[in-house]
Amino acid sequence: MARALLVPVKAFARAKHRLSGRLGDAARVELARRLARHVLGARGAMAAFVACDDEAVAELTVAEGASVLWTPGLGLSGAVDAAVAWLATAGIDLVVVAHADLPFVPVLDQFGASGAVTLAPDRAEGGTNVAAVPATAGFRFAYGPGSFDRHRAEAARLGLACEVVRDWRLATDVDHPSDLALLPAATRAALSAAGRSGAPSTRTTPKEPPT
């Protein structure tokens, strides 16, 4: 069975605005970049893809050895739907979709099972941090508050078995200022340094994404 990791990544400059009371712009960019790299590192034996519409994100994607799926103007759910559909045409059987803000995510190449939906909710069991879906099933993603229940309902609509994985490493994300205390000490130190320097991230034109 061919598996792929798909990570939707928002433009770093627009990411994590809920943390703006604690982190300045440069520190938020640094956090978003570090977390995205960490999640891409969870690919294990899988090919990794990033759904994005931003040049800096695409540049990091290529640098990390992953492939860019260009999804401008689609929003989170639409971008994931489009990317999964493209991966199905590329011969992928199971797509593991992971959010880009999971600081403790383990290797995901054994997450999910053929012909079934596997969901890992956030700590409140409202959102969906990781989801594995059969690429050709026509699963429709519906992210946002309450997505965990909506995704379970979608699996039922499609007649697919749905397994729920409750694992603190998958449930822990970085959405609120209080979550910053959960980050590893090295990450917190890097954010502090980025905040002091205020240095902007470098942007270059990425390689042409797959179509």
Backbone angle region of 117, left / alpha / beta, with phi > 0 → left and psi within -120 to 50 → alpha: beta
**Tokens 């994607």 label which residue?**
61
Put the strands of the sheet holding 94-98 in their side by side order: 67-70, 47-52, 3-8, 94-98, 128-134, 117-121, 162-164
d(CA 118, CA 74): 24
Mean pLDDT of the chain: 91
CATH of 3-197, one of 3.40.50.360, 3.40.960.10, 3.40.50.1000, 3.90.550.10: 3.90.550.10
* pLDDT for residue 194: 80
- What is the pTM assigned to this prediction? 0.89
Check whether 150 has a pLDDT greater than 90: yes
Enclosing H/E stretch for 5: strand 3-8
Confidence of residue 21 (pLDDT cuts 50, 70, 90): confident
Parse the chain into domains and list their residue ranges.
Answer: 3-197
What pLDDT digit, counting tens, does each position of 171-187 carry?
999 988 888 888 888 88
pLDDT higher than threshold 60 for residue 131: yes
Residue 28 identity: R
pLDDT tens for each residue of 91-112 = 999 999 999 999 999 999 999 9
